[in-house]
Amino acid sequence: MTEKLYQIISKVFNVDSSKINDETSPENLEEWDSFNFYVLLDEIENEFDIKLDLDETLEIKKIGDIKKIFTKHGVKAE
């Protein structure tokens, strides 16, 4: 799951996946802006076949938060 998630993030933000970790956020990744974040959420919903609630999307401050939501939605760790 982590690998697939990082692939999507890397594709949407156009950064190398080695630059991505749980602490990655708009503060430390300049390629992450308010608009392409929507694109990212959309890709994640499609790729993992889940629907995020609006409040869940608002809670995402860093990549680690996405993983927490995944656990909640039962997306398997591997």
Partner 1 sequence: MKNEENLAYFLNEAKTIKPRDLEKKLRVAFLASSTINGFEETMRVKCFQKGIECITYVGDYNQYNQEILNQDSELYKFKPDITFLILDTRHILGEHFFSWHAVPHDKKLKFVEIKINEIKKLCDTFEENSESKLIMTSLQIPSYSSYGISEQREIQGIKEMVSELNNKLFDHCRRFDTNHKIFIYDFNEFISKFGEKNIFNYKQFFSGDIKISTEYIPKFVNELMGYVYAILGITKKCIVLDLDNTLWGGVIGEDGFDNIKLGDNPIGHSFVEFQKRLLALNQRGIILAINSKNNFDDAMEVIQKHPNMILKEDNFACVKINWDNKVGNLQEIAKELNISLDSMVFFDDDPLNQEYVRESLPSVLVVDLPKDSSQYAQIITEMKEFDILKITEEDTKRGPMYLGQKKRKELESKVGDFDEFLKQMNIVVNIQKANSFSIPRISQLTLKTNQFNLTTKRYQEEEIGKFSSSKNKIVECIQVSDKFGDNGITGTYIVEKENAEEWIIDTFLLSCRIMGRGVEEIMMNQIVEKAKLSGIKKIKGEFIPTKKNKPAENFYEKLGFKKENEFWVFNTDNTLKKPGHIKVERND
Contacting residues toward partner 1, per CB under 8 A: 11-12, 14, 34-36, 38-43, 46, 52, 54, 57-58
Instruction: Report which of 35, 33, 44 is spatially closest to residue 73, judged by C-alpha positions.
Output: 44
Residue located via tokens 């929507």: 38
Please return the burial class of 43, using the count of CB atoms within 10 Å of its CB with bins 0-12, 13-18 and 19+.
middle
CB of 55 to partner 1, least distance (A): 10
Quick one: 16 or 78, whose CB is closer to partner 1? 16
Pure H helices in the chain:
2-13, 34-48, 54-59, 63-72
Quick one: 54 or 77, whose CB is closer to partner 1? 54
Quick one: 43 or 65, whose CB is closer to partner 1? 43
CB of 7 to partner 1, least distance (A): 12
